[in-house]
Amino acid sequence: MNVFLAELTKIRTVRSTAWCLAAAVAVAGVVAALIGRSFRGWREEPGSAGQPDADPLFASFYGLTLAQLALVVFAILVMGSEYSTGTIRLSLAATPHRGAFFAGKLLAVTAVLAVVSLLTVLVAFAAGQWGLGPDGVGWGAPGVLRAIAGSWLYLVLVPLLALGLTALLRGPARAMGALLPLLLLGSQGAGNIPAIRGWAQYLPDQAGTFIMHLAGPPEDPVFVRDYGPWTGTAILAAWTAAALGAGYLTLRRKDAV
């Protein structure tokens, strides 16, 4: 418990934390509102931005693909700043049991992400449906609660994957260099190439966003999946567990720096 509280104190007292977390909420809300406004009237305009089978939840949750970057940076900095500033030596001197140190940091980051991610998803949904106006859906519409729950899990799991990758690579620059291009372009682009689409669908973001209604209509061959929404979330969870496990083993077996 003391390690957990100490890690929460570290997170709370670093200025970049507030900026990253606030940016996630703001970006999600603004982008959702703008997309919702651009899609307003799609029911009367088949063949335009919203076609007859257009999904009103897309407007709310597409912005989360950008908001996630702020949360990923937050997780990377929480772990990576220990290496870049050299304070990892002091942290491990204060908490010699590296398992306790890693668990405390993991629990602290998870607690913060759980709260902020839920707020981000709720703001995104409300803003997107506000933008859609009469074309929006309510909280009780079919699929809404599942999409909200899946989006919340996605925004928690992806930054935790980043945390594990940072511990594995032992620095923020290397972690950002490896992960941000994947989230910004690599996986999304790979998913649209027929020759590699079969395995690209199992990459973390491709699997995790399926439940968020961002994959398009099931009959579209560009977005077809060999699994269901919750299975996609489980695939993302497996990637996250693997990254955290590898990060912990690296922390346990190697010197502080």
Three-state secondary structure of the chain = CHHHHHHHHHHHHCHHHHHHHHHHHHHHHHHHHHHHHHHCCHHHCCCCCCCCCCCHHHHHHCCHHHHHHHHHHHHHHHHHHHHHCCCHHHHHHHCCCHHHHHHHHHHHHHHHHHHHHHHHHHHHHHHHHHHHHHHCCCCCCCCHHHHHHHHHHHHHHHHHHHHHHHHHHCCHHHHHHHHHHHHHHHHHHHCCCCCCHHHHCCCHHHHHHHHHCCCCCCCCCCCCCCCCHHHHHHHHHHHHHHHHHHHHHHHHHCCCC
Report residue 196: phi and psi, to 5°. -120, 5
**Regions of the chain with pLDDT less than 50:** 48-50, 52, 218-219, 221-222
Q: Please report the pLDDT score of residue 154 as a whole number.
A: 96
Q: Please report the pLDDT score of residue 209 as a whole number.
A: 87
The span from the CA of 201 to the CA of 160, in Å, is 20
Q: Please report the pLDDT score of residue 192 as a whole number.
A: 58
